[in-house]
Amino acid sequence: MRGWKVKRLIMSAVPLALAGCDTELSALSPAGPAAAQIAWLWWGMLAASSALFLLVLVLVAMSFGAPRDVPARRWTHTLGVGFSLAVLSVFLAAGLWVGERLVPRGAAAVEVRAHAFQWGWRFTQPGPRGMVETHDVLHIPAGEPVDVIVTAEDVIHAFWVPRLAGKIDAVPGRQNRLRLQADEPGRYAGMCAEFCGVGHAIMPFEVIAHPSEDWPQAVTATARDADSDGGEQ
């Protein structure tokens, strides 16, 4: 009945194996091209925004002097419309440029499925003998683009592996596609990012990127499909 409570206990008692890495959920330590592009976008925007913020502060500070006669249009038209449109155009261009690179175009080599439920994940991925279903662990090959087809069983959840890519919602009745890629083999933490009820905080999962020569042979070896303790009721 109250499976999520049991799960919560287990979660807090047994820290995940990948704990220890300080930035396992950090969007700022990307491990794949999608996350890397976004991280660069962030650093660029941060620099530009800091400069703009300083500009405004300086202008405000300079007002505390003798009255100065600046034509009104210079404030409202030149700065308000012209300058801000110019800056925003640069932002927009950067956003569209990065966005173009994140869109799944054409077929990816590998397609896996992520199905979210209250409160856990069921992943379906290629294994050595056909498709393999796992709980809370997703296996992908490293160095290759992977398309994740995200669906939901009950309410809205969101699939998010911050070091690999942005998030996408799991919406009942819809299929969403997210393209991600892990540059190096390893374990990457993921979680549910859309509030989904009392178990929202305990919906983490793991993406294991295998060296491409091991994949998909290695999938069953590490599949934790026995791990169905908490999820379904």
| Count of other CB atoms within 10 angstroms of residue 192 | 25
3-state DSSP assignment of residue 148: strand
| Helix residue ranges, H only, 17-74 | 33-62, 72-73
Size of the site for another protein (CB under 8 A): 89
Strands 137-141 and 168-170: unpaired
Taking the least distance from each CB to another protein, the nearer of 132 and 164 is 164
The CA distance from 119 to 136, in Å, is: 10
Assess 72 for contact with another protein (CB under 8 A). Answer: yes
For tokens 């919602």, the residue is 169
Report the nearest approach of another protein to the CB of residue 172 (Å): 5
Report the nearest approach of another protein to the CB of residue 185 (Å): 21
Binders of another protein among residues 186 to 215 (CB under 8 A) are: 189, 191-202, 204
Is residue 207 a contact partner of residue 188, using CB atoms and an 8 Å limit?
yes
Assess 6 for contact with another protein (CB under 8 A). Answer: no
Q: Which of 2, 6, 47, 88 binds another protein (CB under 8 A)?
A: 88
Q: What is the dihedral of CA 209, 211, 215, 217, to 10 degrees?
A: -110
Taking the least distance from each CB to another protein, the nearer of 5 and 129 is 5
Assess 162 for contact with another protein (CB under 8 A). Answer: yes
Assess 228 for contact with another protein (CB under 8 A). Answer: no
Range in contact with another protein (rule: CB under 8 A) among 96-104, 140-148, 211-219, 224-232: 96-104
Taking the least distance from each CB to another protein, the nearer of 67 and 106 is 67
The CA distance from 91 to 76, in Å, is: 21
Q: Which two tokens stand for residue 220?
A: 């069953």
Assess 149 for contact with another protein (CB under 8 A). Answer: no
